[in-house]
Chains A and B, each alone.
Chain A
């Protein structure tokens, strides 16, 4: 019986209402328990202790991540580190290799990461990389919004059959929840076009709004741990905040299957833009935060900018094309038959650029203006707004107005005219940081019921001990502490000590099995079989992800709600 006792730590465990209390944490056989008998003792000596971090949205594995690595050897060179007795070789900054991804997250105290976009047809690829990422527990969200099956069922108003299709895709891809990325727009990108929320997608005769609503309804037919996870239409376009709010409104009347949001919208920074062009571009973070403050059905993550060079990548193919047209840099695109697409282009976020400066402000404004931290998560939409390794910078910014002022002084002066950040005084405390990096994210994903994001009895023994006291106010020291933990403990095993990776156990892959009525499934299969017989380039029998790709499975069953 392997036992660990973490004593003398100051614990922040928001899901259990623990806000900076001196408290012992006992772990036996990988789980938090009430007491231990003969433990290995870790003396936290008054340091900050939190549950392992849970990232709700990050692009760490799969086709587009690897295409990003492949076409950016200049990024690969940036992060090279030689293998050690414990660690394998590392490379990359915005597109780290699989090994570096696991080590760097673990060093920041994270133990679970959600891969935010998995093309169903290429799901095997996502899983091959997830298996290769050490330490982290993980899951992936299959894309379901530009799928011909989805659009046809939405068009016909067949929500039960849509639910049957959602269930089938979830099982076939070993996926976790429903991902939506520029609904309708990516299908239209198949012809080099794009669309907005209420435009009609030709051939399929549905609007993105109908797709979103339909998938939300289908999702809530099961006890799905997570809500629909939405990248709304018109990402990155000036003036898009109205569409973002309209998208929230779409699902307002839908009752969630569980005690959670009915819609999580992601990288909201990219969707909170005012103005009509890049000239009169301005922050509308206040309008978006205002909506979130007044409503309880939607949660967001911020997708905050980390200044510097990064690699943007999304299933939103037309958006990446627009970005490439602005920069003229290299551009990769990969449309996926009957389902989705993707685009990738490098991008430099510069504090000298007025547009980038306003974008930089918006992410933090969202975090500071949304009053209830249980509605908002810390992300950079890694690597789109910046690599995940920048999280400690964001944490220190949110905790220190002084640091924001110092940083703002180095930015383009537009920050004082068209952004709200300089006028905001709020500073996050550690309890709120713990909420937006583990408590809220675990709850929004439904993973708190599966031992993630908290330290109550029965929870996973995933713990981060940061090398700082709760009284620390120096932003530089806070950033340093959140970059490299004193200890990261995963399933009761010390994986990071003094900022160094000391063990690399394999992570588990979480996937959801919605349980659908056989009759509905059979009826759905007739339509699906026709798609494979005539339009897919692989056979139906070769499509589902085989068990071999998920060697460390954690299955969550989602029963049908009658």
Chain B
């Protein structure tokens, strides 16, 4: 038995890196400390895709990696409008090969941000993002706001490691000396901990951000008695709390990015932060979901110039979310082939998009079977990054951390599969004289 410390979790955007596990006979046998229950489950391992496979007469039939790579490359090389989607639950090294493959194919490359914090990216492109690393929040923040986010269940270590419950340099008393504000449409495990819980009406976030902005800029007279289901009294109390903070930190989640005014919600959330900044230090940070969704946005940006929804048909990058994001392309039935890696649109995309995915050839690269596997035509099982493979990832605050390899795997890494597909595509194109 070997004890491994400083293990980095490859589950959510918290990317906890102080986990201790035991490894015996090339298996993670125990997670001793540091991980939440979901992270623990990932580290311990669970059901896997067993073999590469190709769908024949409606059934997935096991095959060799060589056969699967040949088939995948044929599909992609023959496609007139391929979509390469996912990329958030793998490492940056694989993402880089993904961008190169998209460039070679003239494909559209998109990542899970487009159905997640894509609206946040649009808002940042409008107004910017006054933010900080999570350690800044830990050491300084005395007012924490979670808006449309439920970290107690979705990012289970977030409050403990970085925010409300953590203890840092100027916050050594921990939560006793902090205020927690939770804004949500329903009571959650997180809201039960809050000093102030603003329960707003579904889809009314924009109005509530506006009301707080107005108050923070000294225009409380224009705020009516109730805004979006929240009383003016509660809004005034929240604004006072924000003004009185030494350091305030807002975290926001899916509850605001994909409801009501979507990206405009986030523009308003950022404007609220700017307003608070006229009184004291205030920051705002998106609660990124997948452990490396921030990373694919980084890689895609430094290589193509743009973070998601990038069309490479022209040979250079053309960015237009809403037109070129995966769901939109699929709803318009524009793609004639798709490669899905490290994500599961089968479970998360709108029905219309999935219907089209089911009709076209789909290549899947993933350690685990999921609803996407049900209609995938070529399937590659791969090593689990952070357990069986190492590589770089970006935490939700864009801090890069290297995942550790804990055990050997019988499966190849994402990067290797992608490189082999890229080589095969190039070989086909060369043969065809393209």
Q: Which residues of A approach B to under 8 Å, CB–CB?
A: 61, 63, 65-67, 69-73, 76-77, 79-83, 88-92, 95-99, 121-122, 124-125, 128-129, 132, 190-192, 321, 324, 330-338, 341, 344-345, 534-539, 541-542, 546, 548-549
Contact = CB atoms under 8 A, between A and B. Distances in A.
Contacts of A330: 124-128
B233 interface: no
Given A333-B130, A335-B283, A338-B135, A97 B8 contact: no
Contacts of B314: 82
A537 B134 contact: yes
Interface residues of B, number: 63
A124 B135 contact: no
B305 interface: yes
B125 A125 contact: no
Give the 10 A-B residue pairs with the shortest CB-CB distance, closest first.
A337-B135, A82-B315, A91-B305, A76-B305, A537-B135, A330-B128, A192-B281, A124-B400, A335-B132, A332-B128
6 contacts: A70-B301, A71-B124, A89-B103, A125-B398, A537-B135, A542-B6
Contact of B402 (A61, A96, A546): A546
B315 A71 contact: no
B429 interface: no
B18 interface: yes
Interface in B233-249: 246-247
A510 B301 CA distance: 25
B298 interface: yes
Contacts of A192: 277, 280-281
Contacts of A344: 128
Nearest to B96: A132
Interface stretch (B161-169, B181-189, B375-383): B161-169
A332 B131 CA distance: 7
B128 A331 contact: yes
B29 interface: no
B20 to A, nearest CB: 11
- Highest count of chain A CB atoms <10 Å: which of B124, B139, B246, B318: B139
Contacts, number: 187
B202 interface: no
Classify the secondary structure of A's interface with B: mixed
B305 A92 contact: yes
Given A71-B128, A89-B316, A191-B247, A128 B138 contact: no
B307 interface: yes
Contacts of B129: 67, 71, 332-333
B220 interface: no
B74 interface: no
Given A132-B96, A321-B277, A332-B128, 18 more contacts: A63-B398, A73-B125, A73-B306, A80-B318, A88-B303, A89-B303, A89-B315, A97-B301, A99-B303, A122-B398, A190-B281, A332-B124, A332-B130, A335-B283, A337-B132, A337-B136, A344-B128, A538-B17
B128 A535 contact: no
A535 to B, nearest CB: 5
B317 A89 contact: yes
B46 to A, nearest CB: 25
Residue of B138, B283, B302, B392 contacting most chain A CB atoms (<10 Å):
B302
A65 B127 CA distance: 17
A343 to B, nearest CB: 9
Contacts of A345: 128
B413 to A, nearest CB: 13
Contacts of B312: 89
Contact of A535 (B130, B139, B277, B307): B139
Contacts of A69: 301-302, 305-306
Nearest to A78: B305
B399 interface: yes
Contacts of A90: 316
B138 A337 contact: yes
A364 B324 CA distance: 45
A66 B301 contact: yes
Contacts of B127: 330-331
B37 interface: no
A548 B298 CA distance: 18
B112 interface: no
Given A71-B125, A129-B302, A537 B161 contact: yes
Residue with the greatest number of chain A CB neighbours at <10 A, chosen from B128, B134, B317, B318: B128
Nearest to A336: B133
Contacts of B155: none
B302 A537 contact: no
B394 interface: yes
Given A90-B316, A125-B398, A337-B136, A70 B307 contact: yes
B135 A97 contact: no
Interface string B278-321: 00110100000000000001110111111100001011111100
B121 interface: yes
B317 A76 contact: yes
With most chain B CB atoms within 10 A of its CB, the pick from A83, A341, A541 is: A83
B5 interface: yes
B92 interface: yes
Contact of A98 (B130, B131, B133, B302): B302
Which of A65, A73, A80, A132 has its CB near the most chain B CB atoms (within 10 A)?
A73
A399 B245 CA distance: 55
A132 B392 CA distance: 14
Given A124-B392, A190-B140, A333 B18 contact: no
Interface in B141-156: none
A382 to B, nearest CB: 16
Interface string B380-411: 00000000001010100011111000000000
Contacts of B318: 80
Contacts of B131: 332-335
A133 to B, nearest CB: 9
Nearest to B393: A124
Nearest to A337: B135
Nearest to B17: A542
Contacts of B128: 71, 324, 330-333, 344-345
Contact of B8 (A124, A337, A542): A542
A230 B138 CA distance: 29
B368 to A, nearest CB: 26
Contacts of B138: 337, 535, 537
A539 B303 contact: no
Chain B CB within 10 Å, residue with most, of A63, A70, A81, A192 = A70
A82 B312 CA distance: 9
Given A81-B316, A190-B247, A535 B5 contact: no
Contacts of B399: 121-122, 537-538
